[in-house]
Structure 1
Amino acid sequence: MATLLRSALRPLRALGGRRGPAADVWLRGARHGAGLLYPGHLPTSPLQKALLAAGSAGMALYNPYRHDMVAVLGETTGYYALKFLRDQMRKDPEGAEILQKRPRISLSTLDLDKLRSLPEGSLGQEYLRFLDVNRVSPDTRAPTRFVDDEELAYVIQRYREVHDILHTLLGMPTNLLGEITVKWFEAVQTHLPMCILGALFGPIRLSAQSLQVLISELIPWAVQNGHRAPCVLNLYYERRWEQPLRALREELGITDAPTCMSGAWPRP
């Protein structure tokens, strides 16, 4: 799989190292942003996208915690799903404002002291607790590179940055069982092939006991909540930090997680 990825990116790397007329033209264009739709954008052909998708899918299935490969898979296979999500956001006043203002969730934009000072049970405090308990950071989300549409690139970046908020909303930890459960919710919500593949093939690595719990309790719960909740990308979370988490769950129609996950991490 690594060979496939190297093959897909070889034309781009070769241009960076080969000194010739064609390479010089490409390098001059890259320096001046020619053909680049946003910072970090890497234009790729359909063949390169196919190779990247195949390679990243195999590596992500082998190691679900390879977030870089999961990110590449999402970008190279998600065009139509991202258009669907973008259209859902355009139709919603809050979602449309998000598309216009392009807020980001990162350590540089979060006021951690303010989040810590919020009331117990608020979205902001529970999100920060999730980050602390699970030792994760919003800055670990990879920047978008392979989406050849500037607005859709933001949509998938936003999806990545609210992923941990979805864990908080659903009360799911970052272990394999919790990640797969969130992927089932996201697959229903987003239609992203990456999420569907993760939901379907992630359970391969589970023990028989965990697989039974997933199938009998967690998948039905995640699918039901995914269908019932409105598009979770339409929420301007940065303006809802003070909202009680339970009130937000009720607003979205998200029910309490199955009792098998109680105590997975502290939540109201």
Structure 2
Amino acid sequence: MASADMSPEAEIPQSNWYQPRLAMKAMAKLMEDPEDTAQVFRIIRAMSGPSRQKSFKRFIKSPVGRRVMATRQELATVLNDRDALRAMPDGSLGRAYLEFVERENLSADGLKQANVEGGRWTLTKDQELYSNRTRDMHDLWHVTTGYGRDGLGELSLLAFSFAQLGNIGIAMIIYFGTRGGVRESGDKRLWKAVWEGFRNGRRATWWAGEDWEGLLHAPLEDVRKQLGVVRPDTYRKVFADHLAAAQAQAPAQAA
């Protein structure tokens, strides 16, 4: 059973059991402060059940998984080398990723810090390497899918991730986040956009096992075709409508 101490030093034992009390406690904090990313990791860990071990076993049987386990290469090390990313061709995934993180003032280390604040799991070195890798893919997935970092974009990407990884904790965040968004905006199309994200995740290849280091050098549009990306038209429409409404309200409020 996991400790109730959720300080950065707390360790959460590897377990196939779901821990809904811990998840709901973290969910309440996340609803109070949607920017508290540490709570996201706590929810995901508490409700992983057997999904994490299942995806880990699948990964280590893949060609990329065997290479990563042999070389011990951390994806974050590659993503943090901004000089190397800047030297990649125009239109490549690597350049698009660099533009994204610089525009949004992000880094792979930011996800790492939120992960640490969310508490540590007791993992083997191989499991930790895989866990870190899936964590550090998040912003690459933003760029590749076309989902932004707005609230609906994050929820839609989480739906994509749930389809890929099957973690019940991700589904919980999607449900409570979308329900809150619909209540606030009155726009039920948010559910449709999130469902689109889930469908697109089911249609794509299995991204946890893809060679992201190699894909960084390839043209972004070629990467999208190779990985089975479907354009998120519903998300784009809803996001554009909400943006237009917000811009229309701004002059009125200023007056």
Whether 1:147 and 2:121 are equivalent positions in the alignment is yes
Whether 1:215 and 2:185 are equivalent positions in the alignment is no
Alignment of 1:52-91 (within 5 A): 52-91=22-61
CA 1:108–1:188 in 2, change beyond 3 Å: closer, same or farther? closer
Q: Residue 4 of structure 2 corresponds to which residue in structure 1?
A: 8
CA 1:64–1:155 in 2, change beyond 3 Å: closer, same or farther? farther
Moved more, 225-234 or 109-118: 109-118
Q: By how many angstroms is 1:235 displaced? A: 1.6
Which amino acid in structure 2 is aligned with residue 74 of structure 1?
I
Whether 1:134 and 2:130 are equivalent positions in the alignment is no
Whether 1:199 and 2:169 are equivalent positions in the alignment is no
CA distance in 2, matches of 1:61, 1:102: 36
**Which stretches in structure 1 are left out of the alignment for 5+ residues?**
14-39
Q: Residue 245 of structure 2 corresponds to which residue in structure 1?
A: none
**How many residues are aligned here?**
230
Q: Deviations over 1:99-125 (max 9, x none)?
A: 443432436863212212222210100
CA 1:121–1:257 in 2, change beyond 3 Å: closer, same or farther? farther
Counterpart contact for 2:159–2:195, Cα < 8 Å: no
Which amino acid in structure 2 is aligned with residue 119 of structure 1?
P
Alignment of 1:24-103 (within 5 A): 42=11, 52-103=22-73
Q: By how many angstroms is 1:129 displaced? A: 1.1
Counterpart contact for 2:156–2:198, Cα < 8 Å: no
Which amino acid in structure 2 is aligned with residue 221 of structure 1?
E
Q: By how many angstroms is 1:51 displaced? A: 5.2
CA 1:71–1:89 in 2, change beyond 3 Å: closer, same or farther? same
Which amino acid in structure 2 is aligned with residue 167 of structure 1?
H
Answer with 1 or 2: which has the greater Rg.
1
Which amino acid in structure 2 is aligned with residue 255 of structure 1?
V
Counterpart contact for 1:123–1:242, Cα < 8 Å: yes
Q: Residue 118 of structure 1 corresponds to which residue in structure 2?
A: 88
Percent identity over paired residues? 21
CA 1:246–1:129 in 2, change beyond 3 Å: closer, same or farther? same
Moved more, 224-233 or 149-158: 149-158
TM-score, normalisation: structure 2: 0.77
CA RMSD, Structure 1 to Structure 2 (Å): 3.2
Match of 2:199 among 216, 219, 224: 224
CA 1:156–1:45 in 2, change beyond 3 Å: closer, same or farther? closer
Q: Find the residue that maps to 2:196 and give its secondary structure.
A: helix
CA distance in 2, matches of 1:85, 1:139: 23
CA 1:180–1:42 in 2, change beyond 3 Å: closer, same or farther? same
Moved more, 240-249 or 90-99: 90-99
Q: Find the residue that maps to 1:65 and give its secondary structure.
A: coil
